[in-house]
Amino acid sequence: MAENNKELKADALLDCTGLYCPVPIFETRKKIDTIKPGEILQLIADDPASEADIKSWAKNTQNELLKVEKDNDKFIFYIRKKSAD
């Protein structure tokens, strides 16, 4: 998570509020496939397990988790799609 101190602009938004494990991971995978390498996905989720789940998913898929914010009961994730191989 390298860019914690600057404002991030998302290229796509995915709202998974009200969805619980494993649905946010499935939806994140589907949405990340629709954006270009290097673009940023903003994901909003309120599942308490989503923080650990998304961190693990990003590491396993080599997508870059840039920032995690907490807003009351919601997590806001900024994920940069990995560059094309």
The residues annotated as belonging to the active site are 21
List of E strands, 1-85 = 12-15, 40-45, 64-71, 74-80
**Separation of alpha carbons 77 and 8, rounded Å:** 10
Give the amino acid at 37. Answer: P
Q: Any residues with CB less than 8 A from the CB of 83 and at least 6 apart, and which? A: 37, 38
